Amino acid sequence: MSGIRAAVVTVSDGVSQGTRADGSGDAAEALLREAGFDVEARTVLPDERPAIEAALRELADSGGFALVVTTGGTGFGPRDVTPEATRAVLEREAPGLAELMRNEGLRQTPMAALSRAVAGSRGATLIVNLPGSPKGVRESLGALSPVLAHAVELLGGRTGAHPTGHADGDRGSPKGPAVAVGSVEAKAVKVHGSPPCSVGSSMRIVPGGEVHGTLGCAEFDEAAVRDAAEILASGQPGTRTYHHELGDVEVYLEPTHRAPTLVVVSATDVARELATLAPGLGFAPVLVETRSERVTDADAASMRVARELGEVEIDRETRLVFTDHDAPGIADALAVALRSPARFVGVMGSRRHVGPYVDELRSKGFGDEDLARIRSPLGLDLGGRSPAEIALSIAAGLVADEHDRAAGWLDR
């Protein structure tokens, strides 16, 4: 399962408040790593349904993780809401996986019958609820070990012949509608009656992602989370009134957009020229370079620098450009890119240079639709040869992609 990205979500009031160690999360991470998964994210949340739902959606939809396991909140306690939050996110349940875990638990203790854990899929992501104890985590993952790899492969693995060329039209990129990137600030500005909220209570909501703060009760928080996506997409602030049996609250919601990320892989002259153009085109550049000796002080001063592609959050508005076809680990990095929801993936180099990487990706299970997302040779046919001219060609291609124009791509 090497190269398969996994995330661990710990749901616990105690751990989130710092009064308990995250033993179950540590156990889950260790066992998944032993099984060969790349655990690239750890999240700790209180037992709050809106926060759990938002985190699971973010990890599946924007994070592009193949496997997300939660630990905690699956019992009969009044604040055990992980199964309810998970069911609200799942598109298809997998009851057999949950029964496998319960059956193994019953071999150890009859208390396992009290587990309400669920499992299922959202898109290409498998989501599994684990118990909230290290022992329970070990037992449950042990029960799933014979089938977990195959389940993930069935959800995300596709096979097929490598395309010999890139056709015009739809390239299989998961663009869909434009996705607003940013957050929404929700603040209570007026109360009527005696609702469980006071003026000034606030939340910061990343639609489909993190939620910070509270408006005072779960009903208000859930309503604000629902409205945040609409507010962010519209780009316009607005006021909403939320109702409670004890009174109402008027909430002001204000969107804050952030620039989509342009990831330039490898510290080359073309990458530096492209990073210089990025802000003017509305992108925030990030340099990914595994060879630290190639990164200059000027690079670090002008943009964020990451050592691995896995360190960069990739969402549906992220653009990735590989600027050195001879860099180490290109095929593995491209595999990460293709498993992500990134809007754009491009590789500099001729078909002869990029061909071996495509063959390697094919051997990893990527099919025609996946590989058609890679633009190579990269950029528009402007005839330039210098690093600045090549960067301009790539930047022009990004603009054409933004506006869904055919333009004059070099790979057509």
The phi and psi torsions of 170 (rounded to 5 degrees) equal -65, 125
Average pLDDT over residues 73-94: 93
Q: What is the pLDDT, as a whole number, of residue 83?
A: 96
Return d(Cα 406, Cα 412) in angstroms, integer: 10
Share of the chain above pLDDT 70, in %: 93
The pLDDT of residue 405 is: 83
Average pLDDT over residues 308-329: 90
In one-letter notation, the amino acid at residue 86 is T
Q: What is the pLDDT of residue 175?
A: 45
One-letter identity of residue 384: G
Least confident of 26-30, 272-276, 277-281, 286-290: 277-281
Predicted model pTM? 0.46
Please give the Cα distance from 343 to 341 (Å, whole number).
Answer: 6
Least confident of 79-93, 328-342, 397-411: 397-411
Number of neighbouring beta carbons within 10 Å of residue 331: 16
The count of residues in the chain is 412
d(CA 258, CA 276): 18
Lowest mean pLDDT among 25-34, 102-111, 259-268: 102-111
Rounded to 10 degrees, the C-alpha dihedral 321/327/331/337 comes to: -30
Q: What is the pLDDT of residue 63?
A: 82
Q: Is pLDDT above 80 for 258?
A: no
- Per-residue pLDDT for 107 more than 90? no
CA-to-CA distance for 382 and 250, rounded, in angstroms?
A: 54
Q: What is the pLDDT of residues 197-233, one digit of tens each?
A: 889 999 888 887 778 888 988 889 889 999 998 888 7
pLDDT by residue (tens digit) across 60-81?
888 888 999 999 999 999 999 9
- Please, are residues 19 and 26 in contact by the beta-carbon 8 Å criterion? no
Name the one residue in this structure whose structure tokens are 């990706």: 361
- Would you state the pLDDT for residue 214? 87
pLDDT of residue 167: 40
- The pLDDT mean for the chain works out to 87
* H helical segments located in 19-81: 23-34, 49-57
pLDDT in tens, 170-199: 444 444 444 446 789 999 999 999 988 889
With a cut of 90, say whether residue 321 has pLDDT above it.
Answer: yes
Enter the tokens of residue 380.
Answer: 């528009």
| pLDDT at 308 > cutoff 60 | yes
Give dist(CA 5, CA 7) in Å, integer. 7
Give the model's pLDDT for residue 156.
64
**Residue 86 has which token pair?**
């998970």
pLDDT band at 160 (very low <50, low <70, confident <90, very high): very low
CA-closest candidate to residue 152, choices 178, 127, 118: 127
Q: Which two tokens stand for residue 170?
A: 């739809």
Pairing of strands 67-71, 261-265: unpaired
pLDDT score at 172: 45
Contact 355/374 with Cβ under 8 angstroms? no
Give me the pLDDT at residue 177, please.
Answer: 42
Is the pLDDT at 412 greater than 70? The verdict is no
Determine how many CB atoms are found less than 10 A away from the CB of residue 228: 25
d(CA 320, CA 325): 14
